[in-house]
Amino acid sequence: MIRTESLNPDKIREGLQTRHIGSQVVVFDSTSSTNDLAAQYGRNPDNHGLAIFAEQQEAGRGRAGHRWLSPPGAGILCSIVLIDSPLRSELLSLTAAVALAEAIGGGARIKWPNDILLNGKKVSGILLDASVCDTHRIHCLGIGINCHQGRDDFPESLRDSATSLDIETGLRVDRVVLAKRLLAALDLWMERAASDEAAVVQQWQQASLQLAHRVTLCFNGERFTGNCIGVDPQHGLILQLDHGGVRMFEAAHSSIVKE
C-alpha cells in the first residue's frame, strides 16, 4: 500500500491566489470519476472554476475509452468545472496541456494532444468533456498526474511507457503543493489564452514532442503521416502530409500512433 499525505481543500486553497480556477475546492475520498462529478456540479453556473479532487477513482477515464488507473492516494485526480468558457474546446485543450506541463516542470513535454511525458514516459493526461445544460455550456477538464507510484504499481503492459514524478525525480512529491501549482498555472494560462492565443501556441511549441518531427496520427479512423509544422489554436495540429498538402487535425478526434 502506498503511504501518502492526504489532500485537504483548506490546505490547497491556503495562499492560492487565482481569479477563477480553484475559487472553490472539494476533495472526495472516492468517486467513480471526477469528470462525472464535474458534469453534475456544472449544472449550477455558480460552480465555474470549481476544482474537484479525489483520492481514488473507481472508474477513472482516459481518452478513447481507456481507463486511468491510480492506487488510492498515489496521484492527482481532479476535474475543473468551466461554465461558458470563452475558449473553444480546441484552444482549451491546448491551453490545459501547456499549463499542466508548466505545473509539472522538470522538462515535461507535451505529446499531442493531451499527454505529458517525462523522459519519454507518460506521467500525466487530460480528458476534456463538453456538454450543454439549459442555457449554459459546460466543459469538464479532467487531469490525472502520477505522483507516488513505483514501477510495480503499473500493469506490466504499461511499465515501459508510464512513470510517476517520484520515479523520475527520485524525490517524494508533495501533492498539495503540486495541486496548488496546477490550479495557479491553469488560471494564469486560461486568462492569457482569452486575449493572446499566440502566447499559448508559442509555449506549446517550446514543450511539444511533435513539432518539426515526422508523425503518424489516427484521425476519425484514418491514418495520416507527415511533418508537424505547428498547431492552430482553433483547428489543431498542422501536418505537411507526405503525399502533399497541409492539413489540420482537431485534438478531440486525433491521436499519435506508431508507424
Q: What is the pLDDT of residue 61?
A: 58
Of 167, 190, 207, at which residue does a domain stop? Answer: 207
SS3 call for 104: helix
Instruction: Clarify whether residues 134 and 30 are in a common domain.
Output: yes
Of 207, 225, 248, at which residue does a domain stop? Answer: 207
82 close to 91: Cβ distance less than 8 angstroms: no
28-56 confidence digits (pLDDT tens): 999 989 999 999 999 999 999 999 999 99
CA 78 from chain center: how many Å?
10
- Look up residue 91 and give its three cell numbers: 484552444
In CATH, what number is assigned to the domain containing residue 249? 2.30.30
Instruction: Clarify whether residues 42 and 74 are in a common domain.
Output: yes
Determine the length of the chain.
Answer: 259
Instruction: Clarify whether residues 57 and 139 are in a common domain.
Output: yes
Instruction: Clarify whether residues 55 and 153 are in a common domain.
Output: yes
Instruction: Clarify whether residues 140 and 224 are in a common domain.
Output: no
Instruction: Clarify whether residues 221 and 174 are in a common domain.
Output: no
In-domain check, residue 167: yes
Question: Percent of the chain scored above 90 by pLDDT?
Answer: 86
Determine the average pLDDT of the residues in 119-136.
94
Instruction: Clarify whether residues 141 and 180 are in a common domain.
Output: yes
Containing structural domain, residue 49: 9-207
Q: What is the pLDDT of residue 1?
A: 47
Q: Is the pLDDT of residue 247 over 80?
A: yes
Confidence bin at 4 (pLDDT 50/70/90): low
Instruction: Clarify whether residues 32 and 69 are in a common domain.
Output: yes
In-domain check, residue 4: no
Long-range contacts of 204-207 (CB under 8 A, 24+ apart): 204/94, 204/97, 204/98, 204/110, 204/231, 205/230, 205/231, 207/97, 207/98, 207/101, 207/108, 207/109, 207/110
Instruction: Clarify whether residues 56 and 99 are in a common domain.
Output: yes
In CATH, what number is assigned to the domain containing residue 120? 3.30.930.10
Determine the average pLDDT of the residues in 12-32.
95
Determine the average pLDDT of the residues in 207-219.
96
Rounded mean pLDDT of the chain?
Answer: 93
In-domain check, residue 82: yes
Q: Is the pLDDT of residue 60 over 80?
A: no
Instruction: Clarify whether residues 116 and 175 are in a common domain.
Output: yes
In-domain check, residue 3: no
What's the structural domain count of the chain? 2
Q: What is the pLDDT of residue 258?
A: 75
In-domain check, residue 181: yes
Is the CA virtual torsion 213, 145, 177, 5 positive or negative? negative
